[in-house]
């Protein structure tokens, strides 16, 4: 792991493996990437802790979204991340539970839940801005400490073992996030 967050997830997997050895616990570890979007308008992510809700929040307040770091060794200079739609994540959980309930042997316990494709921060911010119909340029700031240039999930194992693959793309994620943001009566509209 490259950061404390990833380290805590790995420790959790070690603990599950210890429980398996000690008590025969059947388990699957799902490693999420950047979960975003909304399954339904009334279940949107309203916490401004992730990129898409942060951009929507700033835009709804008439402020420019922020991009941290434009000098990474990536095609457009911004970080690249694998975004996974929350509905795809839910289906991955069901696939893992079905596999465990069906008696499948778990030679491989840990699965990346991602698309295997990356989107740059600039690309995501641009799509969110476009979804609102606003014409605003993002503010470009220095890098944040600890941000790796690229994090993309290899979803080969989850496809092979659990038969799962992501069905939604970045456009679906942004559209669902925007419509759920608009549907929240506590949110300011976009002017």
DSSP secondary structure letters along 14-68: HHHHHHHHHH-----EEEE-EEES-SSGGG---STTSHHHHHHHHHHTT---EEE
Task: Decide if 33 contacts 81 (C-beta within 8 A).
Answer: yes
Catalytic residue among 5, 32, 72, 83: 5
- CA 114 distance to own-chain centroid: 8
Q: Identify whether 5 is a catalytic site residue.
A: yes
- Residues identified as active-site: 5
């Amino acid at each position: 792991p490259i950061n404390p967050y990833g380290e805590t997830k790995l420790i959790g997997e070690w603990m599950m493996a210890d429980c398996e050895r000690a008590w025969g616990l059947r388990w699957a570890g799902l490693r999420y990437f950047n979960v975003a979007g909304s399954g339904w308008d009334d279940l949107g992510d309203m916490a401004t802790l992730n990129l898409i809700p942060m951009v929507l929040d700033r835009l709804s307040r008439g402020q420019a979204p922020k991009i941290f770091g434009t000098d990474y060794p990536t095609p457009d200079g911004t970080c690249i991340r694998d975004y996974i739609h929350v509905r795809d994540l839910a289906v991955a959980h069901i696939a893992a539970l079905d596999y465990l309930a069906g008696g499948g042997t778990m030679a491989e316990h840990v699965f990346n839940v991602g698309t295997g494709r990356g989107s740059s921060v600039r690309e995501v911010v641009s799509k969110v801005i476009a979804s609102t119909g606003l014409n605003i340029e993002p503010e470009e700031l220095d890098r944040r400490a600890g941000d790796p240039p690229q994090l993309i999930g290899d979803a080969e194992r989850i496809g092979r073992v659990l038969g799962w693959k992501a069905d939604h793309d970045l456009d679906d994620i942004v559209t669902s996030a925007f419509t759920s943001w608009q549907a929240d009566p506590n949110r300011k509209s976009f002017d």
